[in-house]
C-alpha cells in the first residue's frame, strides 16, 4: 500500500523575523519604563531637585520668587562646607536654589528681571515719599509712561544675600572695605548713605504700615540695600534730609499677590508662587540650627520634602494689611494658624520666624528672620514697636537672649535668638 509522505509545515521566515522584532521591542520598552520609574519619576515623598531654572515653570505663575543669590553655607559663626543630609546645619539657603537671579540691561536705563517680569530703572534718585508718586507718574525713562512706586514685595525681589554690612559700627560715616551692597551692582546703580551713616541707603516703597512705629510715627516699609533689611521708616524720611532713595518699576502688576487655598491636610497652597506651606508653625522658639532640622525632619500630609524657607519665600506670605495693633492678628493671611506669644513689653504678640538665609555682618554672621508681629526696640526707657510687623531683620543663631535685656543697637532691637519655624515645600 502506497502511503503519501507529508512534510511538517514550516513557519514563514518573514513572519518569524517580525515576531522576533516585536518581542525585542517589548523587552526594550519594559526596560525603559522600569528605568524611568526607578531613577527619574518623582514619588510624592522624594526630595525635590535642589536647582531649578526652568523658564516654562516660571511662566506658569504670576508671583515667581527670585532666589536670594546666597551660594555659601554657614554654621553659627563661620563659613563651612555645605553639610550633608545627616549633618547639622543641613537645609540652609544655599542648598536649595530656584529661580536664579537673571537680568537684562535694555540699554535705555532700564533693567528687566527675567524671573519676575518686572522692569526697573537702572538708576535711582533721592526724593521724599510724598513726592515720589507724582514723580513716578511723570517719569519717562526708556520712553515708558507707566512707572510706579514699587510695593515692598516688588522692591524686596531685588535683594541679594551675598551682601555684607561690613565691619564698621552702624553709626560710622565711612564705608568699610568689607562692605558689599545687598543688590546686584553689575545691573543696578547704587550708592551708600551720604549723610552721617554709610548704611543709610533706605529705598522707599508704596507700602504703608497699617499701624505706627516709634510711639506714633506714620510709617512706610522700605528696603535698605546697604544693610540687608526691611524696616518700617517714618514717612518724613531721613532725619537729616527728609529724603529716601527711590527706584521705580513697571510691568507685572500681579507680582506680590498671593492666592491661598487650604488643602484640608494641614497644608496651604499658594497658586501664585507655586509653594505649599505648613498651615501651623512649630509652636516653640528654636535655635537656627534646630529650626533647619525641624523642617528637614517634618513629615506632614504624607510628605517629607519640607524645608525652612529662605527670606524671599517667607516674606512672600506677609500680609501687609494686617498687624497686631489693627487686626489683632499677625501680619499673615488668617488661613494660617500662628502661635501667640507674650513680647518684651508684656503684650500679646506673634513671633519672629527663622529663614534658611544667613545675614552677613562684617566678620560675624546671623540668621535672617521675618517678623509677623511687632518688632520691638528699647527706646526712651520703654519697649515699643520700632520697625513694624512685616519687617525682616536678623538674630544671632545661638546664645542667650537674657544677655540682651535692653535689646541691641541704636534702636534697642529685641534679640530673641529662639525663633519660630514655618515650613515650605
Statement: residue 234 has pLDDT above 80: yes
Tell which residue, 154, 388, 336, 155, has the closest CA to residue 257: 154
pLDDT tens for each residue of 70-82: 999 999 999 999 9
For the segment 373-379, the average pLDDT, to the nearest whole number, is: 96
CA distance 30 to 28: 6
Task: Tell me what percent of the residues of the chain surpass a pLDDT of 90.
Answer: 77
For the segment 273-287, the average pLDDT, to the nearest whole number, is: 97
The pTM is what?
A: 0.85
CA distance 351 to 342: 9
Statement: residue 55 has pLDDT above 70: no
Task: Tell me what percent of the residues of the chain surpass a pLDDT of 70.
Answer: 86
What pLDDT is stored for residue 45 in this prediction?
35
CA distance 120 to 300: 39
Please state the domain extents for the chain: 65-79+95-250, 260-403
**Quick one: how far is CA 50 from the chain centroid?**
15
Phi, psi dihedrals of residue 402, rounded to the nearest 5°: -65, -15
Q: Buried (b) or exposed (e) across 341-358, using 16+ Cβ within 10 A?
A: bebbeeeebbbbbbbbbb
Statement: residue 61 has pLDDT above 90: no
What pLDDT is stored for residue 412 in this prediction?
86
Beta-strand relationship, 348-349 and 267-270: unpaired
Q: Which grid cell is 56?
A: 516654562
For the segment 189-211, the average pLDDT, to the nearest whole number, is: 94
What pLDDT is stored for residue 162 in this prediction?
95
What pLDDT is stored for residue 172 in this prediction?
87
What pLDDT is stored for residue 297 in this prediction?
97
pLDDT tens for each residue of 114-163: 999 999 999 999 999 999 999 999 999 999 999 999 999 999 999 999 99
What pLDDT is stored for residue 48 in this prediction?
39
- Largest Cα–Cα separation, the chain: 131
Highest mean pLDDT among 26-35, 231-240, 339-348: 339-348
CA distance 196 to 176: 14
CA distance 119 to 110: 7
Statement: residue 419 has pLDDT above 60: yes
CA distance 99 to 62: 13
Amino acid at each position: 500500500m502506497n502511503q503519501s509522505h507529508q512534510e511538517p509545515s514550516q513557519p514563514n521566515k518573514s513572519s518569524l523575523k517580525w515576531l522576533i522584532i516585536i518581542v525585542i521591542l517589548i523587552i526594550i520598552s519594559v526596560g525603559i519604563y522600569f528605568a524611568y520609574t526607578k531613577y527619574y519619576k518623582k514619588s510624592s515623598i522624594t526630595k525635590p531637585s535642589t536647582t531649578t531654572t526652568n523658564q516654562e515653570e516660571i511662566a506658569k505663575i504670576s508671583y515667581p520668587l527670585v532666589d536670594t543669590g546666597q551660594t555659601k553655607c554657614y554654621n553659627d559663626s563661620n563659613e563651612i562646607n555645605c553639610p550633608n543630609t545627616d549633618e547639622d546645619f543641613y537645609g540652609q539657603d544655599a542648598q536649595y536654589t530656584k529661580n536664579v537671579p537673571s537680568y537684562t540691561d535694555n540699554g535705555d536705563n532700564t533693567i528687566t528681571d527675567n524671573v519676575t517680569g518686572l522692569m526697573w530703572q537702572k538708576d535711582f534718585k533721592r526724593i521724599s515719599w510724598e513726592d515720589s508718586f507724582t514723580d513716578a507718574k511723570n517719569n519717562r525713562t526708556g520712553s515708558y509712561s507707566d512707572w510706579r512706586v514699587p510695593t515692598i514685595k516688588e522692591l524686596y525681589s531685588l535683594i541679594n544675600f551675598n551682601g555684607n554690612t561690613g565691619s564698621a559700627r552702624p553709626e560710622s560715616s565711612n564705608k568699610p572695605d568689607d562692605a558689599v551692597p545687598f543688590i546686584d551692582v553689575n545691573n543696578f546703580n547704587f550708592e551708600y548713605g551720604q549723610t552721617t551713616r554709610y548704611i543709610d541707603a533706605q529705598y522707599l516703597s508704596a507700602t504703608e504700615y497699617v499701624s505706627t512705629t516709634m510711639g506714633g510715627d506714620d510709617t512706610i516699609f522700605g528696603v535698605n540695600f546697604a544693610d540687608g533689611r526691611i524696616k518700617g521708616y517714618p514717612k518724613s524720611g531721613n532725619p537729616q534730609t527728609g529724603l529716601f532713595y527711590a527706584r521705580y518699576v513697571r510691568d507685572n502688576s500681579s507680582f506680590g499677590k498671593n492666592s491661598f487655598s487650604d488643602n484640608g491636610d494641614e497644608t496651604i497652597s499658594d497658586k501664585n508662587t507655586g509653594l505649599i506651606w505648613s498651615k501651623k508653625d512649630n509652636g516653640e522658639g528654636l535655635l537656627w540650627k534646630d529650626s533647619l532640622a525641624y523642617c528637614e525632619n517634618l513629615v506632614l500630609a504624607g510628605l517629607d520634602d519640607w524645608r525652612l524657607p529662605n527670606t524671599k519665600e517667607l516674606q512672600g506670605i506677609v500680609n501687609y494689611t494686617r498687624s497686631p495693633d489693627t487686626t489683632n492678628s499677625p501680619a499673615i493671611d488668617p488661613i494660617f494658624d500662628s502661635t501667640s506669644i507674650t513680647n518684651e513689653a508684656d503684650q500679646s504678640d506673634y513671633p519672629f520666624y527663622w529663614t534658611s538665609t544667613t545675614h552677613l555682618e562684617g566678620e560675624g554672621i546671623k540668621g535672617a528672620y521675618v517678623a509677623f508681629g511687632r518688632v520691638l526696640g528699647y527706646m526712651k526707657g520703654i519697649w515699643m514697636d520700632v520697625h513694624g510687623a512685616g519687617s525682616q531683620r536678623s538674630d544671632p543663631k545661638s546664645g542667650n537672649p537674657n544677655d540682651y535685656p535692653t535689646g541691641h543697637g541704636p534702636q534697642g532691637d529685641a534679640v530673641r535668638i529662639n525663633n519660630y519655624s514655618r515650613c515650605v515645600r
